[in-house]
């Protein structure tokens, strides 16, 4: 939540990890027109790098299913899969706000199940908040978790855990769907969510939601008129292969970098160039 002008002024005096980001900073950012930045992370190494660079929040997403665990979708991901990943991320940061994703099947049956899952994440990982999908249909779950003192980030629009019910990766909020999206947005705000992710919705609809809500909106393919942005780090860094969503901007090409590095390593070993004398131990 860095104001670019202020950041330029303070660049030599205030390190990125100077202050722990909390829910009140999300609200303050919205009120002051400061953009919020988020990335996914699933391990200690990337979390520490992103944290030191000044990212505002890290989501330990069930997207780990596609990016870590080798699944085709997020649906098989279990709570027990995400707990060690979340623990690693939470233990690596000193500034960023860490949000744990509640996977499919861990909250849908009702508020009691949702609260039990949230308790597990908060006690076993030291995350700072949880995230769950669904608007009106998840309002009671959100309300129950928040009443227990646990911050909740909501997620509406395209909700990957419901991809089969939605008919695939379909943009949400178009035409008459805008009314339902607005209803979902107001439902999660009224239930107590501190922020809401809007995924794959038309920019003008996301703008209306952002204007109507008091809580911050975080866009994932929702255009520029939201309060913050979130991307899956493997998409953003050029590690993901195959289909990349239209909304992703690639900020690096780590797939190419790693491929070149592996080829160089194979060549050096094959040509007896590695290990060289400087890599050997002496008596």
State how far Cα 84 lies from the chain centre: 16
In 3D space, the residue among 208, 206, 253 whose CA is nearest the CA of residue 230 turns out to be: 206
List Cα–Cα distances, 86 to 5, 51, 101, in angstroms. Answer: 33, 14, 9
Q: 104 with 159: CB under 8 angstroms?
A: no
In 3D space, the residue among 151, 140, 122 whose CA is nearest the CA of residue 188 turns out to be: 140
Write out the two tokens for 206: 């996301």
Catalytic annotation, pick one of 31, 199, 256, 282: 199
Q: 226 with 200: CB under 8 angstroms?
A: no
List Cα–Cα distances, 126 to 120, 123, 130, 138, in angstroms. Answer: 10, 6, 11, 23
Q: Is 108 a catalytic residue?
A: no
d(CA 38, CA 271): 43
Question: Catalytic site residues?
Answer: 199
């Amino acid at each position: 939540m860095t104001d670019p002008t202020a950041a330029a002024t303070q660049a030599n005096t205030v390190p990125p990890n100077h202050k722990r980001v909390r829910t009140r900073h999300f609200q303050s950012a919205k009120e002051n027109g400061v953009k919020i930045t988020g990335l996914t992370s699933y391990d200690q190494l990337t979390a520490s790098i992103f944290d030191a660079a000044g990212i505002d929040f890290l989501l330990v997403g069930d997207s780990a299913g596609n990016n870590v665990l080798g699944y085709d979708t997020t649906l098989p991901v279990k709570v027990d899969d995400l707990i060690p990943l979340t623990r690693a991320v939470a233990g690596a940061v000193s500034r960023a706000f860490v949000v744990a994703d509640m996977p499919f099947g861990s909250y849908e049956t009702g508020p009691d199940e949702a609260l039990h899952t949230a308790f597990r994440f908060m006690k076993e990982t030291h995350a700072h908040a949880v995230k769950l999908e669904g608007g009106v249909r998840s309002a009671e779950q959100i309300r129950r978790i928040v009443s227990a003192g646990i911050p909740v980030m909501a997620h509406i629009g395209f909700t990957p855990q419901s991809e089969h019910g939605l008919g695939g990766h379909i943009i949400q909020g178009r035409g008459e769907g805008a009314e339902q999206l607005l209803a979902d947005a107001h439902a999660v705000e009224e239930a107590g969510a501190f922020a809401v992710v809007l995924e794959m919705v038309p920019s003008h609809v996301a703008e209306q939601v952002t204007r109507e809500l008091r809580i911050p909106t975080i866009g994932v393919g929702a255009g520029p008129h939201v309060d913050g942005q979130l991307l899956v780090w493997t998409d953003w860094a050029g590690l993901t292969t195959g289909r990349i969503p239209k909304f992703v901007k690639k900020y690096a090409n780590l797939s190419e970098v790693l491929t070149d590095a592996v080829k160089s390593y194979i060549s050096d070993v094959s040509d007896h160039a590695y290990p060289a004398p400087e890599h050997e131990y002496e008596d």
